[in-house]
Amino acid sequence: MPIVLIADDEPNIRRMVGALLTGEGYEVTETPNGVEAVARVKEGEPDVALVDLMMPGELDGMATLGRLRSVAPDLPVIMMSGRAGLADAVKATKLGAFNFIEKPLTPEGVLLAVSSALELRQTRRVARALRAELGFAGQMVGKSAVMDAVREMIARVAPTDARVLITGESGTGKELVASAIHDASARRDKPFVRVNCAAIPRDLVESEMFGHERGAFTGATQTRIGRFELAHHGTLFLDEVGDLGPDAQAKLLRAIEAKEIQRVGGNKVIRTDVRIISATNHDLQRAVRAGTFREDLYFRLQVIPLAIPPLRERGDDILELVEHFSEQFLQRTGQAKPRWRSDALQLLRDYPWPGNVRELANIVERLAILHPGAEITGQQVEDVLIVDRDETENLLVTTPTRAQERVGESRETIARAPTSLAEKLDSFERSVIARALAEAGGNVADAARRLQTDRPNLYRRMKRLGINATRV
């Protein structure tokens, strides 16, 4: 149940707003002054705070807002006032207020402001969880030259508002880089909102991006704030931007150029101040040439290109990441982390990692669960690093000899390559599906989306080809 803090010196306001929110299923805590409001937040952070601008006492509304932003940076604060002017609203916004509502308060206005603030709160929580899910918890691990170059580029572009297009294979940590740019920018205290463009149904893209008004279409039972509005004054991260359809590309281009949006079903023009960071694992230049991605949008997004190296090019970073993920396992579960023998680390160092950092994190966690606190041997690593023979044959062209010896089959096995057309087609299909599954961490639904097919069809093909998702 969401918790809402009401800080207002007027008992009637606290009583009426409290009753309204309680009736809507919120848990309410209230206080008559700013000092007590700050103390309540320190004791247990609520989900939203409603703060009166004109409170008497040691801390007025503006001072209370400043203290709350200091002790709870992620707490959305809604300011209330009946005698404030435009200058006060602007000042409150600059201090970090999420919204500013005028008295006399209306039930609709209060509920809309609180629900929007909760959505922002949830977005921030999800963003933190996703960043932690990548295995870094906000930090970039590795001292290789290619990663030093990435850090240098982040330091150069972060202070600007230039749009950045991050490219790289799936699982390389593109969201981590986007987050690092945001955290090093002047917008660091503002929202970092992520949109997975590949996961949004095409008929809902406009609603997700720009929001919709109540009654705009069947099922729109309430007003929804879109991602552009949620990211106002902050950063909007468009993950997998290459998967947007033509209509969505056109609407995104207009929003970027005009710096304004309209909710679906609404007539009001909403100005937005958003920094755009995009990411894709597609070759957008090729997509532009093929006519599947707008050239003008491509150039708008790629003011600064930033390429993330695949894990196989990062050398001993792999060993640092193994230790990092092992420590994360300890922090998350409390179980003893495994000890890695030199032969096990060598195998991990030499493996080509088609799924990149995400795949490495999954492997380390799997071994930590299977052998908690134990010594991990090379054989145990080999048991989980099962590479399809045909996939290995493809990798032999580009990976070092040491990696060939570790992850490949013997020369005799490779010599038994398929010869007939049917065998070669099956071999190629098996290779493509295996790579998609590896990049998706074994998630068949995600792999199906990457291959632009449906899950039942992919399951049928996997069964025919003898592919087991849990072993890829």
CA gap 70, 64 in Å, rounded: 10
pLDDT of residue 277: 96
Q: What is the CATH number of the domain that holds 204?
A: 3.40.50.300
Instruction: Name the domain count of the chain.
Output: 3
pTM of the model as a whole: 0.56
pLDDT in tens, 71-89: 887 789 999 987 767 788 8
Per-residue model confidence (pLDDT) at position 183: 82
pLDDT at residue 393 greater than cutoff 60: no
pLDDT digits (tens, 9 = 90+) for 163-179: 999 999 888 889 889 98
The pLDDT-based confidence of 424 (bands split at 50, 70, 90) is confident
- Specify whether the CB–CB gap between 367 and 338 falls below 8 A: yes
The last residue of one of the domains, among 333, 364, 389, is 389
Give the rounded distance of the alpha carbon of 285 from its chain centre: 24
196 and 277 belong to one structural domain: yes
Report pLDDT digits (tens) over 335-344.
888 899 999 9
Angstrom distance (rounded) from CA 416 to CA 435: 21
Q: Are residues 193 and 255 in the same domain?
A: yes
Same domain, 297 and 154: yes
Domain boundary among 243, 275, 307: 307
Name the least confident of 132-136, 176-180, 213-217, 327-331.
Answer: 132-136
Domain boundary among 307, 326, 342: 307
Is residue 386 over pLDDT 60? no
Q: Is residue 34's pLDDT more than 90?
A: yes
One domain for residues 294 and 329:
no
Q: Is 94 exposed, middle or buried (0-12, 13-18, 19+ CB in 10 A)?
A: exposed
Could you tell me if 17 and 63 lie in one domain?
A: yes
For residues 299 and 326, state if they share a domain: no
Query: Does residue 421 sit within a domain?
Result: no
Out of 51-55, 393-397, 449-453, the most confident range is 51-55
The boundaries of the domain holding residue 90 are 3-118
Residues 54 and 8 in one domain: yes
pLDDT at position 437: 86
* 200 DSSP assignment: S
Q: Are residues 329 and 288 in the same domain?
A: no
157 and 303 share one domain: yes
Whether 266 maps to a domain, the answer reads yes
Q: Are strands 304-307 and 164-167 parallel, antiparallel or unpaired?
A: parallel
**Between residues 401 and 59, which one has the greater pLDDT?**
59
Closest listed residue to residue 439, CA positions, set 326, 359, 334: 359
Residue 246 is assigned to a structural domain of this protein: yes
pLDDT for residue 187: 85
Residue 320 falls inside a structural domain:
yes
Q: What is the mean pLDDT of the chain?
A: 83
**254 and 150 belong to one structural domain:** yes
139 occurs within a structural domain: no
Domain annotation covers residue 404: no
pLDDT at res. 309: 92
In a domain, 339, yes or no: yes
Residue 133 lies in a domain: no
Split at pLDDT 50, 70, 90, the class of 387 is very low
Q: How confident is the model at residue 262 (pLDDT cuts 50, 70, 90)?
A: confident
| Residues 237 and 269 grouped into a single domain | yes
Tell me which residue of 307, 229, 328, 217 sits closest to 269, measured CA to CA. 229
Same domain, yes or no: 280 and 314: no
Q: What is the CATH number of the domain that holds 38?
A: 3.40.50.2300
Place 388 in a pLDDT band, splitting at 50, 70 and 90.
very low
CATH number of the domain that residue 340 is part of = 1.10.8.60
